[in-house]
Amino acid sequence: MSTSLNRRDFFKSAALSAGALTLLRAGFAPTSAAAQGEMAAGTIHSFAKGGVTFHTYVSPAEAVNVTAHVIEMGDQLLLVDSTFIPPTAMEVTALIESTGKPVHTAYVSHEHPDHWGGVSTMEGITFSTLPEIREGLRAEATNGENPEPTALLNGP
Range of the domain at 73: 7-23+39-153
Which pLDDT belongs to residue 96? 97
Q: Is residue 45 part of a domain?
A: yes
Task: Please state the domain count of the chain.
Answer: 1
Choose from 3-17, 42-56, 139-153 the range with maximum mean pLDDT: 42-56
Q: Is residue 67 part of a domain?
A: yes
Which pLDDT belongs to residue 27? 47
Q: Is residue 13 part of a domain?
A: yes
Q: Is residue 32 part of a domain?
A: no
Strands (E) across 3-148 are located at: 31-32, 43-49, 52-58, 67-73, 76-80, 103-107, 127-128
Q: Is residue 28 part of a domain?
A: no
pTM beyond 0.85: the answer is no
Report the CATH number that the domain containing residue 47 is assigned in CATH.
Answer: 3.60.15.10
pLDDT, average across residues 67-89: 95
CB atoms within 10 A of CB 142: 12
Nearest 5°: the CA angle 125, 5, 138 is 65
Q: Is residue 31 part of a domain?
A: no
Which pLDDT belongs to residue 29? 53
